[in-house]
């Protein structure tokens, strides 16, 4: 059991943070806050699974991190967040870390008006067993270094300044299931910077790809590249109008029932496989070499050529689909909640 100062309100929390003698803070109840909590010293905050919620006007406004529910301006300090839930209530803009060495362990940040966690400056952040969710995705890395244990429950970890010293590492050395790189512009008149994003699934990559700030003009910068490194399911229509879709060796992209994937205007590099579920459509550019199977009612085209299907098999999970799919047996993916890896 960790000894420390127990807090049960916004006032008690800010008082403990202002006290230079307090190094461990123990959250002792659920409570709401009306202003951003600034953390600018070495301290550990143990949430004990309690929830800190944002209240007041929606969304919060401010600068220098004051619109974030927790604003860690650690500089050369060490900060630990453990076993805590923060509910931004679509008002505040997540947890902000700018500088210092920070551990985020078993932390949930939900309903953020921005990203669940924002990292900037020269921060060195380790994220383990945490869940991040917000309007802008899971973790936005504007600078510094972040090391995560897994993509699970993060949705996305991305940076619009990917070539400016930003480092994103998955702790076990594995690659993310889906990665996207390209160029990004803050607005129409700004210069481009390199975008790098890591995603739990291809669904998580579709929204940022469709963002107007991801550059798709042939005359401007590098076009987006989406790389599928592990088995993933597309459950929403996706028209990849430019760039490159790569399905790596030993990976399979499953297009769910009645979903359309159109890469006929992009480039597809496929050493892995595609599975088209019943009622789905996959369109490739002429001359694309693919490994794909299709269920009855599915439609796979390469240019003006249509793939034909014969024998069928039924699967209700990714594992079954991969086992049955092979390179020649069409597979029906049933539309139920069991369609998860």
pLDDT, tens digit, for every residue of 16-66?
999 999 999 999 999 999 999 999 999 999 999 999 999 977 778 877 678
DSSP SS3 for 226: strand
State the pairing for strand pair 117-120/225-228. Answer: unpaired
Pick the range with the lowest mean pLDDT from 40-44, 86-90, 160-164, 177-181. 160-164
What pLDDT is attached to residue 33?
A: 95
Length reported for the chain: 341
Alpha helices in 167-259 (DSSP H): 202-210
Element (H, E) at 11: helix 10-18
Mean pLDDT of the chain: 85
Mean pLDDT value of segment 271-292: 84
Residue 277 has pLDDT above 90, yes or no: no
Stretch 277-282: mean pLDDT: 86
Please write the tens of the pLDDT for every residue from 175-207: 788 999 998 888 888 888 888 899 989 999 998
CB-hemisphere CA count at 13 Å for 281?
Answer: 10
Q: What is the pLDDT of residue 313?
A: 47
Q: Count CA atoms within 13 Å of residue 205 on its CB side.
A: 27
Question: Is residue 308 scored above 70 in pLDDT?
Answer: no
Give me the residues paired with residue 299 across strands.
Answer: 281
pLDDT at 160 over 90: no
The pTM (predicted TM-score) of the whole model is: 0.81
pLDDT above 70 (res 224): yes
pLDDT classification of 317: cutoffs 50, 70, 90: low
- Does residue 326 have a pLDDT over 50? no
Give SS3 for 18. Answer: helix
């Amino acid at each position: 059991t960790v000894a420390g100062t127990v807090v049960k309100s916004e006032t008690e929390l800010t008082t403990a943070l202002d006290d230079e003698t307090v190094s461990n803070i123990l959250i002792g109840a659920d409570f709401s806050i009306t202003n951003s909590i600034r953390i600018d010293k070495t301290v550990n905050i143990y949430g004990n699974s309690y929830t800190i919620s944002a209240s007041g006007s929606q969304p919060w406004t401010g600068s220098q991190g004051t619109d974030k529910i927790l604003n860690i301006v650690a500089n050369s300090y060490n900060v630990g967040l453990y076993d805590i839930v923060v509910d931004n209530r679509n008002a505040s803009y997540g947890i902000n870390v700018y500088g210092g060495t920070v551990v985020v362990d078993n932390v949930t940040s939900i309903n953020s008006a921005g990203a669940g966690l924002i990292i900037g400056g020269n921060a060195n952040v380790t994220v383990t067993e945490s869940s991040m969710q917000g309007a802008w995705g899971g973790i936005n890395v504007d600078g510094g270094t972040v090391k995560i244990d897994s993509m699970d429950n993060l949705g996305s970890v991305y940076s619009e300044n990917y070539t400016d010293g930003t480092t994103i590492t998955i702790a076990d050395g594995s690659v993310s299931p889906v990665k996207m790189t390209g160029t990004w512009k803050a607005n129409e008149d700004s210069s481009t910077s390199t975008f790098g994003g890591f995603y739990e699934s291809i669904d998580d990559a579709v929204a940022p790809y469709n963002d107007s700030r991801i550059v798709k003009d042939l005359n401007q910068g590098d076009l987006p590249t989406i790389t599928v490194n592990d088995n993933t399911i597309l459950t929403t229509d996706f028209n990849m109008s430019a760039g490159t879709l790569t399905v790596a060796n030993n990976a399979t992209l499953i297009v769910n029932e009645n979903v359309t994937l159109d890469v006929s205007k992009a480039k597809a590099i496929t050493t892995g496989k595609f599975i088209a579920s019943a009622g789905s459509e996959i369109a490739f550019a002429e001359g694309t070499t693919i490994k794909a199977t299709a269920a009855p009612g599915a439609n796979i085209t390469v240019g003006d050529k249509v793939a034909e299907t014969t024998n069928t098999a039924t699967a209700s999970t990714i594992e079954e689909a991969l086992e049955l799919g092979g390179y020649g047996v069409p597979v029906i993916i049933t539309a139920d909640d069991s369609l998860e890896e």
